[in-house]
Structure 1
Amino acid sequence: MYVYADESGNTGKNIFDAPAFFYQGVIMAVEDIDPILKPLIDEYCKANGVSRTHAHQMPADEVNLMCWKIIELLDGLIWCPHFVSICKPYLAPTKFLETFFDSFENEAVPNQWYNLNGNRLSMAYALEKILTLKNKQEFWSAFLEKDYLTLSNCLENALHYLPRYVNESSDLYDVLCGGLKYARRNVHRFTIPTQDSKRHGYKIHSPNGIGFTSVLEAAHTFANKHRTKVTAIIHDQNQEFKKTMEECHEFFKSGYFIEKHPDVPPLWEPAEFDLGKLLLKRSGDSPALQAVDIFTWIFQRKKDVRFDEIRNELTNRCDPFHISPVVALLMGKGLLGDAFFEQFKRKAFDI
């Protein structure tokens, strides 16, 4: 089995820079698809006088047609796409939640609130509203620098805005209020994870790091479904995140977290089929990576009706991984029904 992955671009430390979304695309197949796609890619490059395909440099109708041709070639195999979509600014409130509301460290947060999906989504959505843009930016910077004084100020600001968006009569309000107060009093007790240096510490928490983790989880799912070992994960060259990807790959190579029920915390599961080796390759040298670029370009254009048919064709073949406030709201509604909305004041749903 081979896994080809590419991303929409590096984000660096600043998750608040445009564009707001980070995207990652993947093609997984039980055999190497580079030689299968090479004649198609070479034919296009020769006809257009280019050395490789770049979806953003191609006319829209040609991208659409090329995408259908790639699918037609791959449909002779066992294969599957995978996509990741991350609202970058939303990583600030989700990291705020992970940092201060882990019930293992915060004695004011009941275990079922941090570890059960419906409650956790309620807290994440509430923090998205409670934290102002300035507070999110200050928290993200302080988190990366382990600046406890600024983190304490962020907790204080969150407490100030809490009553504006969350109903005081709700259990959600009590948990958030108690958790914020406990964290503010004991801010130095909380673990702020880093890697071996400040220079690399942010990368595992970046959209790139989170997106690559989703790639590895998808690879495990595909390997289990088709009872096959991964020969290689081939990712477009990325020197800035090379070390982070290598560390993630090593960690998840022989195991993964699995959620067996929405009301049970994810459990670590040893993998029957490991993830093979990680290879970083120039996309210009890989027809498969160029195909991933084309798929990902199509996936991003959710508001362009010209690509509705082909985009639906791709997404219907997989279970895309999304992180955004809208997804949190929809998932919260799905798990809790009307009880999700009853926790909030009306302005929490203003766009």
Structure 2
Amino acid sequence: MPHSHFEAYIDESGNTGLDLFGDKEQPFFWTGTIVVEEKISLPYDVYELAQSEGKKELHGNELGLGRIDRLADRLIQIIEGIDARFHFTRTEKKHIPTMRFADAILDNVNNAAVGHMHYQVTFLRKALAARIDAFFSEQDKIEFWNIHLSGNVNEFQQFLRKFRTKISTRYPSNDRRGKSILLDAIEWGIRHPDVLLTERTQRPEGVEDFRSLQYESPNLVSVSMLLSGLHNLGENHNKKVKRIVHDEQSEFGQYLQQMYRYFKGVKIRDDLQLFPIVEGTDMFPDALEFGSSSSSPYLQLVDVCLWLLKQKVDLKKEIYGRAGELLDTVIKRSSINHFSSSFLQAEVQYFTQLLMNAPISEAQLIKAQKQIAELEEQRKKRLENNW
């Protein structure tokens, strides 16, 4: 069956850039994407709706709940009439330094103390990252982020020594293997800090000026999550993306374009209990387009929907009346990807429970224990040879 096509329009919300700690009012960076059939017709003129409320365009923060409530019925009719779908991403800014640190010390390619399984199997990597996250204080995040951006090897070495003390004294006693791996990984990093830190600041192939921006602003971190969500939508509905239009207000347009090109041809299938499978994909067009909300009714629609969702999720507001009905309509047609400390902990806890409750025979248990012992022996031998 040949693919039909859809178009995706992306809005973003929350101050971005490399200052992850300055904006206390917006700890999360969001993207909202509305997905529509190619060349669909709207049942209402969005610009006329804005004018009816004394505005040139529809923007959630300018309209507020009162005006949105009055427009909600017609917005619902638009969303249902064009069968729109949505995908959101929510990135906790302060979680970026934690995961960058975890990635730096757990990557088995660079750190001889980490076994292949512990980094390459998604669940094992995330389980260790969750342990690190539990001990990574606000001050740790700030300190490591500054080290990460500066590339200061001596400061990184000092940071590792302090973190080693924290793991040594506070790590749970019921996870001796995890503690052993982390302490070995940290110790190896103390002995070879330049290897681990330099790896974090190298450029991906074809990417320029990587060191100055690190490609680590929240909107760039969200690119892979955004494309993953769109890929799933495309597969579920047997469609390809003909156009992806991003709100042009982004201050990192050229870097978004480069990151998009880096990820657009790749689909990662990632069952937590197995190795990720990387596949090629032709789901997406060659390049992002950038457009203004003044010229796109879809960018205005997703702006309103994203604003409502943030009110509910980040600000814990109860959305009542017709505006609440609008939000419910959006949620029923949505998927979301999270990048946050709480999501990491919940994800690891959920899959740990699944594994603990899975039936296993005595023969399987004996085989697994033997394999674990062999892998641990290989890890220690590699560590001794590269100490």
**Equivalent residue of 1:58, what SS?**
helix
Is 1:305 the counterpart of 2:318? The answer is yes
Is the Cα–Cα contact under 8 Å of residues 8 and 33 in structure 2 kept in the other structure?
yes
**Equivalent residue of 1:173, what SS?**
helix
Structure 1 residue 22: Cα displacement: 1.0
Quick one: which of 192, 217, 224 aligns to 1:206?
217
Cα distance in 2 for partners of 1:288, 1:65 equals 19
**Equivalent residue of 2:274, what SS?**
coil
Structure 1 residue 276: Cα displacement: 4.5
Is the Cα–Cα contact under 8 Å of residues 10 and 208 in structure 1 kept in the other structure?
no
**Equivalent residue of 2:15, what SS?**
coil
Structure 1 residue 153: Cα displacement: 1.7
Quick one: which of 318, 341, 348 aligns to 2:334?
318
**Equivalent residue of 1:337, what SS?**
helix
Cα distance in 2 for partners of 1:313, 1:222 equals 17
Quick one: which of 129, 137, 141 aligns to 1:132?
137
* AA partner of residue 285 (structure 2): L
Is the Cα–Cα contact under 8 Å of residues 130 and 345 in structure 2 kept in the other structure?
yes
Is the Cα–Cα contact under 8 Å of residues 138 and 150 in structure 1 kept in the other structure?
no
Identity in percent: 21
**Equivalent residue of 1:106, what SS?**
coil
Bigger Rg, which one: 2
Quick one: which of 223, 233, 258 aligns to 2:234?
223
Residues 231 and 312 of structure 1: CA distance in aligned 2, closer, same or farther (over 3 Å): same
**Equivalent residue of 1:59, what SS?**
helix
Aligned residue for 1:286? Answer: 296
Give the paired residue count: 336
Cα distance in 1 for partners of 2:64, 2:262 equals 41
Aligned residue for 1:267? Answer: 277
Quick one: which of 178, 197, 201 aligns to 2:209?
197
**Structure 2 unmatched ranges of 5 or more:** 1-5, 357-387
Residues 102 and 62 of structure 1: CA distance in aligned 2, closer, same or farther (over 3 Å): same
**Equivalent residue of 1:306, what SS?**
coil
The normalised TM-score by structure 1 is 0.87
Is the Cα–Cα contact under 8 Å of residues 108 and 179 in structure 1 kept in the other structure?
yes
Aligned residue for 1:347? Answer: none
**Equivalent residue of 1:230, what SS?**
strand
Greater shift, 24-33 or 310-319, is seen at 310-319
Residue by residue, what CA displacement relative to the aligned partner does 1:95-153 show, whole Å, maximum 9, x if unpaired?
11111211121121122222333332322222223223222112112112222112212
Is 1:22 the counterpart of 2:42? The answer is no
The normalised TM-score by structure 2 is 0.80
Quick one: which of 48, 51, 57 aligns to 1:52?
57
Counterpart mapping for 1:29-178 below 5 A: 29-32=36-39, 36=42, 39-64=44-69, 66-67=71-72, 69-170=74-175, 171-178=177-184
**Equivalent residue of 2:267, what SS?**
strand
Residue by residue, what CA displacement relative to the aligned partner does 1:72-117 show, whole Å, maximum 9, x if unpaired?
2232344310111111101111111111211121121122222333
**Structure 1 unmatched ranges of 5 or more:** 341-351
Cα distance in 2 for partners of 1:322, 1:276 equals 26
Residues 179 and 71 of structure 1: CA distance in aligned 2, closer, same or farther (over 3 Å): farther
Cα distance in 1 for partners of 2:325, 2:345 equals 26
Cα distance in 1 for partners of 2:179, 2:47 equals 59
Residues 200 and 72 of structure 1: CA distance in aligned 2, closer, same or farther (over 3 Å): farther
* AA partner of residue 182 (structure 1): W
**Equivalent residue of 1:217, what SS?**
helix
Question: What's the C-alpha RMSD, in Å, of the aligned pairs?
Answer: 2.4
**Equivalent residue of 1:3, what SS?**
strand
Residue by residue, what CA displacement relative to the aligned partner does 1:262-306 show, whole Å, maximum 9, x if unpaired?
222322211143335411111122111011111111111221112
Cα distance in 2 for partners of 1:152, 1:65 equals 58
Residue by residue, what CA displacement relative to the aligned partner does 1:221-272 show, whole Å, maximum 9, x if unpaired?
222222323221100014521121111221223332222x222232221114
Cα distance in 2 for partners of 1:314, 1:243 equals 30
**Equivalent residue of 1:233, what SS?**
strand
**Equivalent residue of 2:56, what SS?**
coil
Cα distance in 1 for partners of 2:222, 2:264 equals 16
Residue by residue, what CA displacement relative to the aligned partner does 1:155-190 show, whole Å, maximum 9, x if unpaired?
112112114542134122111111111111111112
Is the Cα–Cα contact under 8 Å of residues 229 and 337 in structure 2 kept in the other structure?
no
Is the Cα–Cα contact under 8 Å of residues 130 and 161 in structure 1 kept in the other structure?
yes
Cα distance in 2 for partners of 1:266, 1:65 equals 47
Greater shift, 310-319 or 132-141, is seen at 310-319
**Equivalent residue of 2:81, what SS?**
coil
Residue by residue, what CA displacement relative to the aligned partner does 1:312-351 show, whole Å, maximum 9, x if unpaired?
44333333111112111211111112999xxxxxxxxxxx
Aligned residue for 1:9? Answer: 14
Structure 1 residue 52: Cα displacement: 1.1
